[in-house]
Chains A and B, each alone.
Chain A
């Protein structure tokens, strides 16, 4: 049985004539222990999709099922890593992770909690910065805190909303590897939302493209059969990788093109003459040259 299931889910924002259908007819099944990536353009409704699953939003029609039961709100069984870190800037790394631990395991003793927090901070290689405030950390380190916080909740499903899109390419690579390593340790179910096809191929078992919104829906899935643990440099040389990558990108470009064609508005430019730079003279203007305002 699928651990997470979306059945004919639709979601729109606004009412009346201002209504925007963001997602229509989303059908998705994620098996236990699977790593699924959803790839799509910015603005196609990726974040809306993840908010439907983590319980911050609810679908207009259709059902979001977690282990066969409809989702009624955020819960400790789904850990979320947000796009913009979303760690609390007034708490230290330790306190940020502890906030989650306190909520999820209220019965634990102080020592158990501390060990648990330290274990996960260590897992994301932040032990040296455990007492620092987020302002003192780099972007990559902040996202690591966010990863540690989500993992410390011991969720059954890990939801990642473009977790690495704000990072530079090098940090991105190392963090991808780290997330995969942590994931492969206890094989949690993971859903990654991303706009980077390479990231999806390196990390996921399946890639599902999301067509551009409005009325975004899921496209055909692409299976990725590289053996784990994956070596990024090896994969990069693999002709299979290139083929897969091209297929997905071509698909995304195709659906993107159909969307663009439907948009046929033309814009008229104002009829203005540009001012040439360096032609301003500061002499007093002659009477006939002066602009008359009245």
Chain B
């Protein structure tokens, strides 16, 4: 049981919990408590330290902003107004709240508010669904489109949309980059002739890709029912992120161990068998490293692209909140920042898990 838990934790990349599990089982208390302190307590302490510094910094900035406001009131309207302003700030009224870096508490408050908002919207959505259920049945029976909820999406919905976009972009990158990478990797001539293209397109900024995709998609897709902004953003994400996989696949395929190639030659394997039984498995570690980079690039680029493409998602959420400009919006932006970071981290972990399952090299993948 204990070993199962530990193996499961290790597999999920949560190996740092191992000493805790062992300690609970009463195994080598001294060694494991030292390990627990090293691997859990100190990291947790460092998180607290980070929050403390953040809090201190936020308080300082708040004070600077408040002083500046009072100063301004004093200079523009005189002593009376300055005193009024001071009182107003002390009371915490929204109308005169200094707009600075939000403190950790404010961010947590914003997070709770977003979740509450999500719950409210979910209830509304359910109500709406129940209301239109009958009408929708009739519409579908008639061959018409069902009515869908078109109200404001909640924060959680935005995360869902972003994940959907990134997944679609990743699949696109996978479908383009891996086959092309294999073909390029197998032939020196093709690799040399495509190399300049790859080298030129690899560093192109996501914004430019978005514009390029926009130019093409705008002409090709005229059906108004299709979600154009979603198509544009996922294609751009895919195109931006595929280069790492393309390069890694071609390098991996072209540098398969000579011994394996010799085996394939001596057994006289056909082209298909050579690729699927020898070349691909041998280059799996390289391809997966590329795919990991692709996922993280896709997630990073997504925010910028959603922001520009007016596609719903975390990117547009951040942009809208920034346009909003209130101090609460700032807190929401920071909530979004943490959510983006944590999701990116989790995506990477998932890729590592898949890699561990697929790869023949059972050595530690960090």
Residues of A within 8 A of B (CB): 54-56, 73-76, 80, 82, 84, 86-91, 99-100, 103-104, 133, 135, 153
Query: Known contacts A99-B267, A100-B267; is A86 also within 8 Å of B360 by CB?
Result: no
Asked, given contacts A88-B263, A89-B360, A135-B362, whether A75 binds B268 with beta carbons under 8 Å apart, the answer is: yes
Most B C-beta atoms less than 10 A away, residue of A55, A84, A88, A104: A88
| Contacts known (A99-B277, A135-B360); A86 close to B259, Cβ less than 8 A | yes
Q: How far apart sit A126 and B278, CA to CA, in the bound complex (Å)?
A: 23
Q: Do the beta carbons of B281 and A90 come within 8 Å of each other?
A: yes
Other contacts beyond A74-B268, A133-B360: 10, CB < 8 A: A56-B265, A56-B266, A82-B262, A86-B259, A88-B260, A88-B281, A90-B282, A99-B273, A103-B273, A104-B267
* Given A82-B259, A89-B360, CB of A54 within 8 Å of CB of B277: no
Q: Bound state CA distance, A173 and B263, in angstroms?
A: 26
Minimum CB–CB distance from A96 to chain B (whole Å) comes to: 9
Contact (Cβ within 8 A) A74 B266: yes
Question: Which of B259, B270, B278 is A84 in contact with, Cβ under 8 Å?
Answer: B259
Of the A-B pairs whose beta carbons lie under 8 Å apart in the complex, a sample of 24, sorted by A's number, is: A55-B266, A56-B262, A73-B265, A74-B267, A82-B259, A82-B263, A84-B259, A86-B259, A86-B262, A86-B263, A87-B263, A88-B278, A90-B284, A90-B360, A91-B281, A99-B273, A103-B267, A103-B268, A103-B269, A103-B270, A103-B273, A104-B267, A133-B360, A153-B267
Question: Is the beta-carbon distance between B265 and A88 smaller than 8 angstroms?
Answer: no
CB distance from B339 to the nearest CB of A (A): 37
Complex: how many Å from CA A99 to CA B273? 9
Interface of A is mostly: loop
A82 to B278, CA, bound (A): 16
Q: How far is the CB of B91 from chain A (nearest CB, A)?
A: 62
Are A76 and B259 CB-contacts (below 8 A) given A88-B281, A89-B360?
Answer: no
Please tell me the number of chain B residues within 8 Å of chain A, measured between CB atoms. Answer: 19
Report how far A276 CA is from B281 CA in the complex, Å: 52
Residues of B within 8 A of A133 (CB): 360
- Contact partners of A75 in chain B: CB under 8 A: 268
A76 to B270, CA, bound (A): 14
Rounded to whole Å, the gap between the CB of A78 and the closest CB of chain B is 8
Residues of A within 8 A of B277 (CB): 88, 91, 99
Q: How far is the CA of A86 from the CA of B278 in the complex (A)?
A: 11
Chain A residue contacts of B360, Cβ below 8 A:
89-90, 133, 135
Residues of B314-363 at the interface with A, using a CB-CB cut-off of 8 Å, are 360-362
B236-274 CB mask vs A (1 if < 8 Å, else 0) is 000000000000000000000001101101111110010
Q: Chain B residue with minimal CB distance to A76?
A: B268
Taken together as a complex, chains A and B put the C-alpha atoms of A15 and B84 apart, in Å, by 91
- Chain B residues whose C-beta falls within 8 Å of the C-beta of A135 in the assembled complex: 360, 362
Contact with A along B29-72 (1 / 0, CB 8 A): 00000000000000000000000000000000000000000000
Establish whether residues A54 and B259, one from each chain, have CB atoms under 8 Å apart when the complex forms: no
- Measured CB to CB, the nearest residue on chain A to B358 is A90
Least distance between B16 CB and chain A CB atoms (Å): 26
Write out, one digit per residue, whether chain B residues 2-27 have a CB within 8 A of any chain A CB (1) or not (0): 00000000000000000000000000
Q: Give bound CA distance, A99 to B264, whole Å.
A: 10
Residues on the B chain within 8 Å of A86, using CB: 259-260, 262-263
> CB-CB < 8 A to A87: which residues of B?
263
**Bound-state Cα–Cα, A86 to B264, Å:** 10
Q: For residue B284, which residues in chain A have a CB less than 8 angstroms away from its CB? A: 90
Among B262, B263, B360, find the residue whose CB has the most chain A CB atoms closer than 10 A.
B263
**Closest 10 A/B residue pairs (Cβ):** A90-B360, A90-B281, A86-B259, A74-B266, A86-B263, A89-B360, A80-B266, A103-B267, A74-B265, A100-B267
Q: Smallest distance from the beta carbon of B52 to chain A beta carbons, Å?
A: 38
A91 CA to B268 CA in the complex, in Å? Answer: 17
Question: Which of chain B's residues have a CB closer than 8 A to the CB of A76?
Answer: 268
Chain A residues lying within 8 Å of B268, measured Cβ to Cβ, are 73-76, 103
Interfacial chain B residues near A55, Cβ < 8 Å: 265-266
The chain B residue sitting closest to A87, CB to CB, is: B263
Distance, CA A135 to CA B363, complexed state (A): 10
Report the bound CA distance from A73 to B266 in whole Å: 8
Complex formed: what's the CA distance from A47 to B260 in Å?
A: 16
Partner of A54, one of B260, B266, B273, B281: B266
Q: Which residue of A lies closest to B360 (CB)?
A: A90
Smallest CB separation, A166 vs chain B (Å):
13
> Please, how many angstroms separate the alpha-carbon atoms of A171 and B90 in the complex?
84
Which residues from chain B contact A90 at a C-beta distance below 8 Å?
281-282, 284, 360
A142 to chain B minimum Cβ distance, whole angstroms, is: 12
Give complex CA distance A149, B259 in Å. 15
Residues of chain B within 8 A (CB-CB) of A54 are: 266
Cα distance A91–B360 in the bound complex, in angstroms: 9
